[in-house]
Amino acid sequence: MKFVNPQLIQEFHAPGRHFNFPKVELIIQNTRRILGDGIAFSEGNAWKRKRQVITAVFNYDFLTLNIPKIAKTFDIEAQRMEDEYFQSNPGAKTVKYYLLDLLTATFSGVMLKCFFGGTFKNEKINGEPLSVFLPKLIGDVSKQSIRPENFLLGPWFFNLGVTAGDRDINKRVKLLRQISKNYIYQRVEELKV
C-alpha cells in the first residue's frame, strides 16, 4: 500500500468526499473530553460549516505571513528541549532528543498561538510548558481510548477514576479545561477594550 500516492490523496480530498469517511465514534468520544466538538470530531454539515470558517482564516496568505513565527516557535522549543537535556545530563557534550517530540511541541505551540495569541506564551501546567503538557495529555487519553474498557463500557468509565492513571488523566483534563476557559474569558475581555 502506498501512503504517499498523490492520486489517492487528491481523491480523498475531492469536494463532497468527506462524507464518505466518517470518524469512528468509539475511538474519538474519549478524546472529546479534551478537545471538545471542534472540526476534528465533527461530521456532516457541522464539519462543513467549521471547515469553511477555518479555511477563511488559515489561507495561503495567513500561513505565508506566519512562517517566521512558526520557525521561531521551532527554535524556542528546540532550545527548551536542549536546555532541559543539558540540565538533566550534566557534562554531556551533545544533545539528544527525539525529532517527533520537537515537532509535536512545535505544532502544539503554533496551534496555541494561532488560537489564543500570545496569551499562552510562558504558561506552564504541572511544571511543564503547555506545548508539552497538551500533547502528553492527548497521547494519554488516546491510549485510554484503545483500552478494552472503552470498547466494553464506553468513555464514561474513565470518568469514574477507577485506576490511579485514570484519576491522574481526569485531574489533568479538568485542569486544562479550567485554564482554557479562564484564558478564553481573559482574551474576550482584552478584545473588548
Q: pLDDT per residue over 45-79, tens digit each?
A: 888 888 888 777 777 888 788 888 888 888 888 88
Q: What is the band of 111 on the pLDDT scale with cuts at 50, 70, 90?
A: confident
8 lies in some domain: no
- Whole domain around residue 85: which residue ranges? 38-192
Long-range residue pairs from 113-119, CB within 8 A, at least 24 positions apart, any chain: 113/69, 113/73, 114/58, 114/66, 116/183, 116/184, 116/187, 117/187, 119/183, 119/186, 119/187
Q: Is residue 28 part of a domain?
A: no
**For range 131-157, the mean pLDDT:** 85
Kindly state whether residue 25 falls inside one of the protein's structural domains: no
On whether residue 163 sits in a domain, the answer given is yes
Residue 79 in any domain: the answer is: yes
Residue 107 domain-assigned (yes or no): yes
Residue 103 lies in a domain: yes
Residue 62 phi, psi (nearest 5): -60, -45
Say whether pLDDT at 115 is over 70. no
144-153, 165-174, 181-190: the lowest-pLDDT one: 181-190
Torsion angle (degrees, nearest 10) of CA 65, 186, 188, 30: 80
- The residue ranking higher by pLDDT, 115 or 45, is 45
> Is residue 26 domain-resident?
no
Whether the model clears a pTM of 0.95, i.e. scores above it, the answer is: no
What share of the chain in percent tops pLDDT 90? 8
How many domains, the chain?
A: 1
pLDDT reading at 130 higher than 90 = no
Q: Contact 166/144 with Cβ under 8 angstroms?
A: yes
Question: How would residue 18 be classed by pLDDT, with cut points 50, 70 and 90?
Answer: low
